[in-house]
């Protein structure tokens, strides 16, 4: 037997006395089962703990250990050896749901992607270190990324962490967070509508494939039940059938005729649908297990997309951009379709699809009860997202809804609502320690805790 730290040389055990050998075995077992070292606990004493937007506790503490929030409340005490921080405000780390941060620049802009292309295959921390660190220091702890730039179908997007792993790699929180797509890049209006129609065709193909799979499972279960029923009947009637067969053989012999065995029709199992890897993923989209994030800006394409997807009851559509989507707000609210808004100021040389870009869009949509998220749409822009959120607040978005756009709503859309976006026991410990209100231009981030570890400490020089 060996341990990783101190291997035994051949013959050592045989030279030990028997009693010593038996005494050694439990010790070795304990050594093999020894738990890995646990990071020191962290206790945060805060004047305000924002559990989630709209709910907070004053003069409370947050206890962190093992990468998660262990407890939130009053009168919590620091365990032995814990690090203690004091803060005016504590809230959950921010999430940028629409970014390319962490992706290799070549992969991020390529146009030959399809639904099977995975964002995790294009992650590259080298060359992204500066942007990752800047995003982390600005409070962004998670980003949703997809390859393909302006490709029609970007493939499987991922949710990744900005703090990275100890080995220098990028920490993946969810490798299949959503499917990314883009429509409306062409200068020709008919081409843009054609892009929408092709996307809907893909969804329809996935829906049909999903129904085939469901029907196959149903038919297979039905067939198995019939087989069990038939086998039980055959077993019950075996003796009777045997006697009848023997009688028929005897009668055939007496009549000088050849006895012919009765042929029973074999109950064959239903045919399994032919496997199609791409349709399998589109089936997940149509079935609602994968959100579909579509970047689309112009009104005509937005209307065509909403009209074309209205019959897919399970589809979880997310609009990214949505420059001219405000007239369709009633439909978005009724169908609970979120919009990821990019609240950045643009100059006069903006692209044709962005001519209607307005910094008040996020606030105007929120007033109509549309679910609003905020995203950067790029790599370097991720670090500026909190500033852009503050800009959106200045143009009509309520501060509470702006905070939700960066925390609870973003986590919910990316299927991480049960583990990210809140300061709550059991949730991942991605926390911001602030000296004022979140998203206020006068507020500074003093510490960032990412995955239960101190990732940034403005006071400690980290």
412 assigned to some structural domain: yes
Q: 375 with 302, same domain?
A: yes
Q: 54 with 105, same domain?
A: no
The edge-to-edge listing of strands for the beta sheet with 55-65 is 68-73, 55-65, 42-52, 83-92, 431-434, 445-450, 453-457
Q: 310 with 404, same domain?
A: yes
270 assigned to some structural domain: no
Q: 404 with 443, same domain?
A: no
Sequential pLDDT tens for the chain (462 residues): 434 443 333 333 333 344 333 343 444 444 445 555 567 899 999 999 999 999 999 999 999 999 999 999 999 999 999 999 999 999 999 999 999 999 998 877 788 899 999 999 999 988 788 999 999 999 999 999 998 777 899 999 999 999 977 777 889 999 999 999 999 777 778 888 999 999 999 999 999 999 999 888 888 888 888 778 777 766 766 666 666 666 776 767 766 777 666 665 667 888 888 999 999 999 999 999 999 999 999 999 999 999 999 999 999 999 999 999 999 999 999 999 999 999 887 655 656 566 667 889 999 999 999 999 999 987 668 999 999 999 999 999 999 999 999 999 999 999 999 999 999 999 999 999 999 999 998 999 999 999 999 999 998 765
Tracing tokens 């060359």 back to the chain, one arrives at 127
Q: 105 with 152, same domain?
A: yes
Q: 313 with 379, same domain?
A: yes
Q: pLDDT value at position 164? A: 78
Q: 320 with 403, same domain?
A: yes
Structural domain containing residue 315: 94-207+278-420
Number of domains in the chain: 2
Q: 297 with 193, same domain?
A: yes
Q: pLDDT value at position 395? A: 94
Q: 328 with 385, same domain?
A: yes
Q: CATH number of the domain that 85 lies in? A: 2.30.40.10
Q: What is the 3-state secondary structure (H, E, C) of 345-413?
A: CCCCCCCHHHCCCCCCHHHHHHHCCCCEEECCCCCHHHHHHHHHHHHHHHCCCCHHHHHHHHCHHHHHH
* Ramachandran class of 210: left when φ > 0, alpha when ψ lies in -120 to 50, beta otherwise: alpha
Pairing state of beta strands 68-73 and 445-450? Answer: unpaired
SS3 of 146, please?
Answer: coil
287 assigned to some structural domain: yes
370 assigned to some structural domain: yes
Q: pLDDT value at position 190? A: 83
Q: CATH number of the domain that 388 lies in? A: 3.20.20.140
Q: 319 with 405, same domain?
A: yes
Q: 56 with 181, same domain?
A: no
Tokens of residue 166, six digits: 């100890």
233 assigned to some structural domain: no
Q: pLDDT value at position 15? A: 39
Q: pLDDT value at position 349? A: 63
Q: 162 with 289, same domain?
A: yes
């Amino acid at each position: 037997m060996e341990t990783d730290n101190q291997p035994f040389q051949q013959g050592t055990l045989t030279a030990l006395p028997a009693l010593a050998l038996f005494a050694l075995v439990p010790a070795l077992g304990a050594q093999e089962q020894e738990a890995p070292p646990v990071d020191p606990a962290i206790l945060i004493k805060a004047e305000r703990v924002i559990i989630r937007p709209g709910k907070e506790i004053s003069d409370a503490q947050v206890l962190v250990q093992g990468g998660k929030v262990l407890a939130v409340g009053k009168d919590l005490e620091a365990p032995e050896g814990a690090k203690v921080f004091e803060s005016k405000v504590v809230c959950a780390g921010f999430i940028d749901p629409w970014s390319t941060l962490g992706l290799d620049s070549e992969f991020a802009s390529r146009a030959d992607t399809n639904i099977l292309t995975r964002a995790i295959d294009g992650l590259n921390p080298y060359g992204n270190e500066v942007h990752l660190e800047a995003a982390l220091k600005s409070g962004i702890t998670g980003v949703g990324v997809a390859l393909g730039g302006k490709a029609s179908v970007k493939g499987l997007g991922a949710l990744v962490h900005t703090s990275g792993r100890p080995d220098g790699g990028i920490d993946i929180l969810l490798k299949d967070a959503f499917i990314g797509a883009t429509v409306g890049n062409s200068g020709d209006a008919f081409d843009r509508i054609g892009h929408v129609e092709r996307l809907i065709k893909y969804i329809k193909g996935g829906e049909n494939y999903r129904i085939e799979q469901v029907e196959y499972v149903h038919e297979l279960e039905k067939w198995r039940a019939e087989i069990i029923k038939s086998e039980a009947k055959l077993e019950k009637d075996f003796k009777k059938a045997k006697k009848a067969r023997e009688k028929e053989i005897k009668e055939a012999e007496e009549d000088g005729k050849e006895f012919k065995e009765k042929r029973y029709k074999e109950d064959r199992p239903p045919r399994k649908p032919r496997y199609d890897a791409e349709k399998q993923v589109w089936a997940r989209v149509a079935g609602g297990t994968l959100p579909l994030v579509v970047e689309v800006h112009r009104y005509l394409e937005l209307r065509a997309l909403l009209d074309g997807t209205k019959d897919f009851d399970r589809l979880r559509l997310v609009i990214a951009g949505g420059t001219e989507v405000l007239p369709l707000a009633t439909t978005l609210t009724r169908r609970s379709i979120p919009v990821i808004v990019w609240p950045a100021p643009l100059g006069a040389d903006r692209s044709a699809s962005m001519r209607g870009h307005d910094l008040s869009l996020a606030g105007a949509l929120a007033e109509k009860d549309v679910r609003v998220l905020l995203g950067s749409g790029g790599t370097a822009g991720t670090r500026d997202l909190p500033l852009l959120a503050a800009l959106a607040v200045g143009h009509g978005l309520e501060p509470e809804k702006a905070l939700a756009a960066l925390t609870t709503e973003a986590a919910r859309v990316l299927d991480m609502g049960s583990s990210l976006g809140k300061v709550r026991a059991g949730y991942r410990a991605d926390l911001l320690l602030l000296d004022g209100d979140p998203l206020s231009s006068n507020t500074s981030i003093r510490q960032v805790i990412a995955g239960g570890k101190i990732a940034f400490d403005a006071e400690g020089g980290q």
